[in-house]
Structure 1
Amino acid sequence: MTDPKKYGFTTTILHSDRQKPIEHGALHKPIHTSVAFGYRDARELAAVFQGKQPGYRYGRQGNPTVSALEDKLTKMEDGLGTLCFSTGMAAIAAVMQGLLRAGDHVVSSAFLFGNTNSLWQTVAGQGVDVSFVDATDVNAVEAALTPATRVVFVETIANPRTQIADLKRIGELCARHGLLYIVDNTMTSPYLFRPKSVGAGLVVNALTKSIGGHGNALGGSLTDTGLFDWGAYPNIFDNYKRAAINQWGLAQLRAKALRDFGGSLGPEAAHHLAVGAETMALRLERECSNALAVARMLEADERVAAVHYPGLPSHPQHALATDLFRAYGSLFSFELRADVDCFDYLNRLKLAIPASNLGDTRTLVIPVAHTIFYEMGAQRRASMGIAESLIRVSIGIEDTADLVEDFRQALAPR
């Protein structure tokens, strides 16, 4: 396998580790648990610390097992390089910690994962101005720009109401203004969509979700696509300008976010995530088809008030999703009619599990307003279109007929 670019997505990921020598001919990169890395020549150790030659300094800043996963993710996103973190939230926080300064301005989609919304509010309290806008409309993003704007941040498909950002036009807007365009690809995954195709400079993935896929390891990543001109970014410290310009962003993120704040991914988790990634395409094919089947059944039932899934023609951004994505994703949400109690409904499900995660092999459900979005309050939930009866569904790989019947029978007799 000498030319990985000529192979398909799954073939490339399966054989990624073997692009570099592996100890003892192992098919997987082994789990390296050592925190420290010794050198026979002290000058070599100094050269590694000074960035003059490749190598490992300390486990908080890198590890061979984690590096192998980073290589996989870079290939998945067709990127320049990747940094892994302990969680998806640590990866997003790295942007604030490593690239923003007091007085900067960020334009963010208003339709965000609850913890990301909370994090932006924290950042706003530390001197970075944040504007939340309807990212389904590029005009709303443009209207929010100021001379201090450094970053535009969006999710591909919003969790949980599945609004889809105007991804391509926002990318064109950022290119015209020289802005760093960051796209959280968690809800689509690199298999369904590559944000590089719409001009993203940095791509976020919560590895815990579809990439790992089995709910057994936390992780997050930032991938530099190579499209952003770091030479024009005003917040790069001189220390990190010694490398090639296209490496400045990753160099500063590794030092200022990963090293200084310590949200490092451990080797055991990296191994789980790397192995899980091998079957991502297979899982997502099944999950997306399952999600569409269940969403169609629910939309046709009179006891359901609304279903929010990009795969349905009734979705406001159905045409956009069809144009952008390989498939419509494994997550949807729905609202029950007023006389159907959401807790009673959830308790009648036999297969779907009430739990807070997504992208798992098992189908998971959660009452959104009462759990993951409870802290933000009713007013903010209403502004995001989150009804009190909204149920989020992360569809798994169960047999389609079994899932359709489970969600149908839980609606109770007509």
Structure 2
Amino acid sequence: MPEKLHYGFTTTILHNDRRKVIEHGSLHKPVHTSVAFGYNDARQLASVFQGKEPGFRYGRQGNPTVSALEDKISKMEDGVASLCFGTGMAAIGALFQALLRAGDQVVSSAFLFGNTNSLWQTVAGQGVDVAFVDATDVANVAAAITPATRMVFVETIANPRTQVADLVRIGELCRERGILYVVDNTMTTPWLFRPKTVGAGIVINSLTKSIGGHGMALGGSLTDTGLFDWSAYPNIAPNFRKQPASQQGMAQLRAKALRDFGASLSPDAAHQIAVGAETLALRMERTCANALALAQMLEADDRVAAVHYPGLASHPQHDLTRKLFRASGSLFSFELKDGINCFDYLNRLTVGIPASNLGDTRTLVIPVAHTIFFEMGAERRASMGIAESLIRVSVGIEETADLLADFGAALDV
């Protein structure tokens, strides 16, 4: 496949490995399990360690199988480089580990995945100020920025209440102020949206979710889009300033978060995620269509108090969603009317599975306030709009009719 030709999203991902030489003509990058890499010339080994030429040093910092996945992720996000980590949370934690110092500030959306919220609370306890704001309006972000602000952090579609950040205008603000704009793209995936188009400097993906897609491997990634000027970032260590400015951020992240902190992705997991990624577009088309149909059905039922899904006209950011994303995602949440117990409802489902993951091929459901957001307490949940009866639904690839029948029948008490 000539590199000069432009191919579509799925074609590119399917054939990306074989653009480079693979042993024995394999169509997949093999799983390289070795943690050490030998060189015939000791001078070359030293040159690789010093960053003067490409190569692998030690499995914690890089591996041929993981590297192949990183290249796929970069292609998906139209980025210049990607790093893969053992989990999505490890990827987010890498930002703190490698790029922030005591006295810095992060402006973060208040509408966050529960573990991300917990991580920022930990970060705040270690000397980094974290300002939580309603990121659906850029004015709130602008008001929180101080001279100490090092990054602005948002999710595309918030998990679980599906608020959509003011992505375009926040990107413009960060570009004007010279602030690193970090966008978690997990809920939309690179198939529905590329954060680079709104000015993101770093893009996060939980590879565990829709990109891997089958609930079989943990993983996370950071992608440098090439839009941020690392030469102006104050926290780059002197030894990484020797790199070209465009490579300084990734060089420091690889060293501080992989070499020093050890948040590495295993080659076996990398292989499973890479194979899953081949069908991302196909799966997302099905799951998004299923999610819209199911959300519409539930919204029309008078036993349901509210449905939160950007694909519905009733959603506050519905128009923005239509402008930004290819579709509205495969996740939504809903609240039951008083008198319908959320646990009893979930127990009546036969297709939807009570489980905490999302982005799986199977439809997964969870009572949010009692599980993944329980730790943060009622007051914080209320500030995020999370009702006690809120049920999160990660919609799978089942037949639409089966899902509609299952969720509808469970309402019949």
Q: What TM-score results when the alignment is normalised by the length of structure 2? A: 1.00
Cα separation, 1, equivalents of 2:90 and 2:135:
23
The answer as to 2:59 corresponding to 1:25 is: no
The equivalent residue for 1:206 is 206
- Cα distance in 1 for residues equivalent to 2:26 and 2:19: 12
C-alpha contact 1:4 1:12 (8 A) present in aligned 2: no
| Secondary structure in structure 2 of the residue aligned to 1:209 | helix
Give how far 1:402 is off: 0.3
CA RMSD of aligned residues (A): 0.6
Structure 2 partner of 1:382 = 382
**Which amino acid in structure 1 is aligned with residue 177 of structure 2?**
H
Q: Deviations over 1:233-269 (max 9, x none)?
A: 0000011112111000000000011111101000000
Partner residue, 2:82? 82
Q: 3-state DSSP class of the match of 1:248?
A: helix
The CA distance in 2 between the partners of 1:28 and 1:5, in whole Å, is 21
Q: Gaps (5+ residues) in structure 1?
A: none
For residues 61-101 of structure 1, the C-alpha deviation after alignment (integer angstroms, 9 at most, x for no partner) is 00000000000000000001000000000000000000000
Q: Deviations over 1:80-132 (max 9, x none)?
A: 10000000000000000000000001100000000000000000000000000
Q: Distance in 2 between the 1:178 and 1:34 partners?
A: 41
1:96 is aligned to 2:93:
no
CA distance in 1, matches of 2:4, 2:177: 35
For 1:380 and 1:258, locate their aligned partners in 2 and report how far apart those are by CA, in whole Å. Answer: 33
1:5 Cα deviation after fit: 5.7
* SS of corresponding position for 2:306: strand
Call closer, same or farther: CA 1:276–1:122 in 2, change over 3 Å. Answer: same
Show the counterpart of 1:290: 290
- Do structure 1's residue 329 and structure 2's residue 329 form an aligned pair? yes
Question: Using the alignment, how far apart are the partners of 1:383 and 1:82 within structure 2?
Answer: 34
CA distance in 2 between counterparts of 1:70 and 1:289 reads 29
| 1:319 Cα deviation after fit | 0.2
1:412, distance to aligned residue in structure 2 (A): 1.2
- How many Å apart are 1:4 and its aligned residue? 6.3
**Cα distance, 1:19 vs structure 2:** 1.3
Q: Is 1:157–1:164's contact at 8 Å kept on the other side of the alignment?
A: yes
Q: Within the alignment, does 1:355 sit opposite 2:355 as a pair?
A: yes
Is 2:204 the partner of 1:194? no
- 1:271 is paired with a residue of what secondary structure? helix
Q: Within 1, Cα distance between the matches of 2:168 and 2:24?
A: 45
Superposed structure 1 runs of 4+ greater than 2 Å apart? none
Instruction: Tell me the amino acid that sits aligned with residue 259 of structure 1.
Output: R
**Distance in 1 (alpha carbons) for counterparts of 2:47 and 2:209:** 37
1:364 matched to which residue of 2? 364
1:189-242: CA deviation from partner (whole Å, max 9, x where unpaired): 000000000000000000000000000000000000000000100000011112
1:146 is aligned to 146
Equivalences for residues 12-411 of structure 1 within 5 A: 12-411=12-411
Unmatched runs of 5 consecutive residues or more in structure 2: none
State the one-letter code of the partner of 2:259. Answer: R
Classify 1:317/1:5 alpha carbon distance in 2 versus 1 (closer, same or farther; 3 Å): farther
Offset of residue 347 of structure 1? 0.2
Q: What letter corresponds to residue 19 of structure 2 in structure 1?
A: Q
Aligned residue identity for 1:117:
N
Secondary structure in structure 1 of the residue aligned to 2:211? coil
| Corresponding pairs, count | 413
User: Which letter does structure 1 place at the counterpart of 2:284?
Assistant: L
Distance between the aligned counterparts of 1:19 and 1:258, measured in 2? 27
> CA 1:4 to 1:258, structure 2 compared with 1: closer, same or farther past 3 Å?
farther
CA distance in 2, matches of 1:203, 1:224: 7
Aligned-partner Cα distance in 2 for 1:3–1:30:
22
**1:3 CA displacement:** 2.4
Counterpart-to-counterpart distance in 2, 1:6 and 1:149 = 39
| 1:8 matches 2:8 | yes
Q: Following the alignment from structure 1 to structure 2, what is the Cα–Cα distance between the partners of residues 334 and 312? A: 12
Matched letter for residue 324 of structure 1? L
Letter matched to residue 21 of structure 1: V
Amino acid at match of 2:250: L
Distance 1:215 1:5, change over 3 A: farther
Normalised to the residue count of structure 1, the TM-score between the two structures is 0.99
